Amino acid sequence: MDRILIRGGNRLSGKITISGAKNAALTLMPCALLTDEPLTLRNLPRLADVDSFGHLLNVLGASTAIEGTRPNEFGRVMTARAGNLSSTVAPYDIVRKMRASILVLGPLVGRAGVATVSLPGGCAIGNRPIDLHLKALEAIGAEIELAAGYVKATAPGGRLRGGEYRFPVVSVGATENVLMAAVTARGTTVLDNAAREPEIVDLCNLLVAMGASIDGIGTERLVIEGRERLHGATYSVMPDRIEAGSYACAAAITGGDLELVGAAAGDMRATLDALVEAGITVEERADAIRVAAPDGIQPLTLSTAPFPGFATDMQAQFMAMLCMAQGTSTLTETIFENRYMHVPELARMGADIAVNGRTAEVHGVKKLTGAQVMATDLRASMSLILAGLAAEGETQVNRVYHLDRGYEGLEEKLQQVGADIERVGDG
């Protein structure tokens, strides 16, 4: 199994190109199931999860063709065409590896009138039930059956009908799933307390490009007028705001100066505001964000929240950065109940962190020391990379397959800005 070795202490300086967003890509790809015409996605990141989702589309009967497969090339172009669906079953062997697979449920039942999807897997960061997905689909006419680890959704008469649903809590995945189902339903669907994340906006924009009618894009109230059918489109995946935020933390923790090319400041305002509060220099440019470290990082008090609040996917990276702050920081995780699994690994490197329920107190230390550490999930993996970049000596990060799910060309990008980092195999 591969692992990543980091010899820390180097100041990072230069330019890093931000890739297409993982969370957006995995939401846009299932839209190919809504039409029999080609859907072309540009700026698609080279990630294990993207490859897995492409395989799932193939299993369901869609053809996929990839451009941009040269070594060390970032971003690809994928054209998917689901002329005829050969299956409406998303099997356990694929879905267990990737929670985003549940997002084929909505488009499949929307187009074919039936969908059977294994209950999902993904990162072990706490309980992430799909009950809101199912209740929202029921609100637009789907009949739901759970059996033997699968969920089956059926549209009586072969087509869903419009309806109204108010999410009791904000759910990104449930909003995405019911959106894709509603665009071909009969009549009008109204979704209240819908998620407003930039990835939701990206999905809505693609669906509109495919012929859907959606009002209220970017707000908590979405009104969808169902269409008989959608058509193909060509669309570029938005830049990855979590990747950009992660590399911003890399600049801060190493005392560096990085230009994040292609990053969209409007999509990551809470992250940038937190960096500024920590004393980091943030300069917004036309097509990039410059992040430069001060003499010292200031402590923060942060709480995760749905967009436009501070993203849960940035919590672990900020925790690593704040390990080197001049004082005590307080982080509260409100989204997932088990997202501090990186804390014991950071402690192995000399971090001083005390966890009490959903709150973590991070006491800044003068230095971190390299150690062997184990990645537990995608964002936790990046927190260990960040700590390793700043630590004295060598850090070995194991179970890096988590990183391959969400960061395109991580070692290459960091090497280009001065990091001493490499991937090695057991052999």
- The verdict on whether residue 36 carries a ligand-binding annotation is no
Two structure tokens written together for 303: 């709480």
Alpha helices in 260-400 (DSSP H): 269-277, 315-322, 343-348, 378-390
285 marked as binding residue: no
Beta-carbon-side half-sphere exposure of residue 406 (alpha carbons within 13 Å): 23
Q: CA-CA distance, 103 to 378, in Å (whole number)?
A: 19
Joined together, the tokens standing for residue 6 give 């980091």
273 among annotated binding-site residues: no
Q: What angle do CA 351, 356, 360 make, to 5 degrees?
A: 40
Count of beta carbons in the 10 Å neighbourhood of residue 284: 12
Structure tokens at 239: 């830049």
- Residues 413 and 407: their CA atoms lie apart, in Å, by 10
Quick check: bond before 308 cis, omega within 30? yes
- List, in sequence order, the alpha helices (H) in 184-336: 198-209, 241-253, 269-277, 315-322
Q: How far apart are CA 178 and CA 30, in angstroms?
A: 12
Q: Is 23 annotated as a binding residue?
A: yes
Nearest to 100, CA basis, from 137, 54, 139: 54
Nearest to 82 by CA among 203, 248, 230, 297: 230
Question: For residues 279 and 80, what is the distance between their CA atoms, to the nearest angstrom?
Answer: 45
Annotated ligand binding at 135? The verdict is: no
335 assigned to a ligand binding site: yes
Sequence-separated (6 or more) residues with CB below 8 Å from residue 295? none
Q: CA-CA distance, 201 to 208, in Å (whole number)?
A: 10
> Which pair of structure tokens corresponds to residue 338?
């088990």
Is 128 annotated as ligand-binding? yes
Using CA atoms of 24, 80, 207, 119 in order, give the dihedral in degrees to the nearest 10: -60
Q: Is there a catalytic annotation at residue 204?
A: no
Position of tokens 């940038």?
272
Rounded to whole angstroms, the Cα distance separating 46 from 63 reads: 18
Q: Is 328 exposed, middle or buried (0-12, 13-18, 19+ CB in 10 A)?
A: middle
Which of 31, 123, 204, 249 is labelled catalytic?
Answer: 123
Q: Are the C-beta atoms of residues 361 and 318 closer than 8 Å to each other?
A: no
Q: Is 81 labeled as ligand-binding?
A: no
Instruction: Supply the DSSP symbol for 219.
Output: S
Binding residues for phosphoenolpyruvate: 22-23
Binding residues for UDP-N-acetyl-alpha-D-glucosamine: 99, 128-132, 313, 335
Q: Which residues are catalytic?
A: 123
